[in-house]
């Protein structure tokens, strides 16, 4: 639990760094690719190549493609349409997706999670009550794809690690996670990347280095390893803890002129949606895997 808290603090600063220094200035595909390459390089010396079941390798590769590759490509693009506080608030949907994915894997269905998602959508609309532009809708949808794949990666990694029990520390196989992300990030940069929008200052390069090694490499590893040891309720709470932590960092340091009343009202409605899910969903507090 303590590890999840520490990673949450680390990621809270990461959101603001992306929004203030990289979004709109550095090509989003290159930013994601650089993070993947640095994180992969960090784990490459520790990666176990022999004695790892093929199914385990494939499973970790897929979770990396989802939780890092697809998630961060969509996340970076959403910053072009949304403010940092909006991006943070709209990540609150992730726990709902964790519940839905868990139900799908167990061949169950509960309409409560969908009701909660609808309430949260109303909260998102309140935050932008002056009109939902095409740009806002695009950013919102991009972020929901990011939320879904981030949730799928967390649930998937836990399933994979519980299915394959090896007498190996987690860091010996976590490199496959970033190799999977590379399978998404590299083609995306080659196809959609803009070579004219590479980092132009030492500060931008330094931020990318920090995000790649610390936030991505170290952060992703300890988050996923800790997620394997907690129940779904705790994991959902920690996914949401990023919202107030990130908002606090962004509003106090960079965005003091934000419409706090609108953010507060919309955030409360979104928070109410989570209460509905936790209160009435019969499995909201059960473990993600069995």
The DSSP code sequence of 63-84 is HHIIIIIIHHHHHHHHTTTS-H
Closest CA to 65 of 145, 172, 182, 154: 182
Q: 57 in a domain, yes or no? A: yes
CB 67 within 8 A of CB 180: no
pLDDT(55) > 90: yes
Which tokens hold the place of 186? 């590299």
pLDDT(38) > 60: yes
Q: What is the pLDDT of residue 267?
A: 74
Which tokens hold the place of 38? 């640095």
4-29 burial: b if 16+ Cβ within 10 Å, else e: beebbebbbbbbbbbbbbbbeebbbb
- Euclidean distance between CA atoms 83 and 146, whole angstroms: 16
Q: Average pLDDT, stretch 229-250?
A: 70
Q: 205 in a domain, yes or no? A: yes
Q: What is the pLDDT of residue 155?
A: 87
Read off the pLDDT band of 115 (50, 70, 90): confident
Q: 286 in a domain, yes or no? A: no
Q: Average pLDDT, stretch 91-100?
A: 79
pLDDT(103) > 50: yes
Q: 47 in a domain, yes or no? A: yes
- Return mean pLDDT, the chain: 84
Helix (H) or strand (E) run with residue 218 in it = none
Residue given tokens 């936790």 in the structure block: 278
Q: 90 in a domain, yes or no? A: yes
Q: What is the pLDDT of residue 283?
A: 56
Give the residue, 272 or 41, on which the prediction is more confident: 41
Read off the pLDDT band of 290 (50, 70, 90): very low
Q: What is the pLDDT of residue 208?
A: 96
Helix (H, G, I), strand (E, B) or coil at 120: helix
* Phi and psi torsions of 77, nearest 5°: -65, -30
Which long-range contacts link 196-203 to residues 24+ away (Cβ below 8 Å)?
197/25, 197/26, 197/27, 197/30, 198/26, 198/27, 198/30, 199/26, 199/30, 200/25, 203/21
Residue 193 CA: distances (Å) to CA of 30, 31, 187, 199, 290: 6, 10, 9, 13, 41
111-140 burial: b if 16+ Cβ within 10 Å, else e: ebbebbbebbbebbebbbeeeeeeebeebb
* Phi and psi torsions of 272, nearest 5°: -60, -35
Q: 40 in a domain, yes or no? A: yes
Compute the 3-state secondary structure of the chain and give helix, strand, coil in percent, each to the nearest 5.
80, 0, 20
Provide the number of structural domains found in the chain: 1
Q: 285 in a domain, yes or no? A: no
pLDDT(13) > 60: yes
Q: 289 in a domain, yes or no? A: no
Residue given tokens 């390893």 in the structure block: 225
Among 50-54, 109-113, 137-141, whose mean pLDDT is lowest?
A: 109-113
Range of the domain at 180: 2-280
């Amino acid at each position: 639990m303590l590890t999840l808290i520490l990673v949450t603090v680390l990621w809270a600063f990461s959101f603001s760094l992306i929004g203030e220094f990289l979004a709109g200035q550095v090509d989003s595909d290159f930013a994601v690719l650089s993070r993947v390459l640095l994180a992969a390089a960090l784990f490459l010396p520790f990666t176990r190549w022999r004695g790892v079941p093929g199914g385990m390798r494939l499973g970790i590769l897929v979770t990396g493609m989802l939780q890092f590759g697809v998630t961060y490509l969509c996340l970076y693009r959403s910053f072009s349409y949304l403010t940092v506080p909006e991006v943070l608030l709209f990540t609150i949907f992730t726990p709902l997706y964790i519940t839905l994915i868990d139900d799908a894997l167990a061949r169950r269905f509960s309409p409560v999670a969908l009701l909660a998602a609808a309430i949260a959508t109303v909260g998102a609309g309140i935050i932008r009550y002056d009109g939902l532009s095409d740009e806002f809708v695009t950013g919102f949808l991009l972020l929901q794809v990011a939320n879904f794949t981030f949730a799928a990666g967390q649930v998937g990694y836990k399933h994979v690690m519980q299915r394959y029990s090896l007498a190996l520390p987690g860091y010996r196989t976590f490199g496959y996670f970033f190799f999977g992300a590379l399978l998404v990030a590299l083609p995306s940069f080659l196809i959609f990347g803009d070579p004219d929008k590479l980092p132009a200052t030492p500060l931008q390069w330094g931020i990318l280095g920090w995000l790649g090694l610390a936030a991505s490499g170290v952060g992703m590893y300890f988050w996923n390893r800790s997620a394997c040891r907690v129940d779904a309720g705790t994991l959902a709470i920690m996914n949401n803890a990023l919202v107030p932590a990130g908002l606090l960092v962004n509003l106090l340091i960079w965005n003091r002129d934000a419409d706090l009343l609108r953010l507060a009202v919309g955030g409360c409605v979104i928070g109410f949606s989570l209460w509905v899910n936790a209160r009435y969903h019969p499995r909201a507090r059960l473990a993600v895997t069995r």
